[in-house]
Amino acid sequence: EDKVVQSPLSLVVHEGDTVTLNCSYEVTNFRSLLWYKQEKKAPTFLFMLTSSGIEKKSGRLSSILDKKELFSILNITATQTGDSAVYLCAGTIMDSNYQLIWGAGTKLIIKP
């Protein structure tokens, strides 16, 4: 059965800290891994990763995929209170079905 596992489930850090969120996957015919940020409303897209070892970066956020070890990490440097959210990762599969295999999410709380 396809599955995506995120860790930790929840994380509380102080503003300015750097955090690393983990996502491991077991997805048959894996195509790509997606990261989303969900605050009070619907998820917002962060990154799509398809190739191993190529870091994607957006401001203080960066992410990388390891297709050999079947995991991805999302790094946030110099965290701010606005980074508080649930971070979701999801795997996609190589066929005509666009369904996402979701992880349960990591709840990140940034304390001022």
Residues that bind another protein (CB under 8 A): 31-32, 34, 36, 41-45, 48, 88, 92, 97-100, 102, 104-105
| Least Å from the CB of residue 102 to another protein | 6
Whether 64 and 56 have beta carbons less than 8 Å apart is answered as yes
CB of 38 to another protein, least distance (A): 8
Q: Which is nearer to another protein, 25 or 36 (CB)?
A: 36
Shorter beta-carbon distance to another protein: residue 13 or 48: 48
CA separation for the pair 68, 79 (Å, rounded) = 29
Q: Are 90 and 33 in contact (CB under 8 A)?
A: yes
CA distances from 81 to 4, 17, 85 (A): 27, 11, 9
CB of 68 to another protein, least distance (A): 23
Query: Least separation, in Å, of the C-beta of 58 and another protein?
Result: 14
Q: Check if the beta carbon of residue 15 is closer than 8 Å to that of residue 77.
A: no
Closest CA relative to residue 65, chosen from 24, 18, 96: 24
Which residue, 44 or 51, has its beta carbon nearer to another protein? 44
17/102 with CB nearer another protein = 102
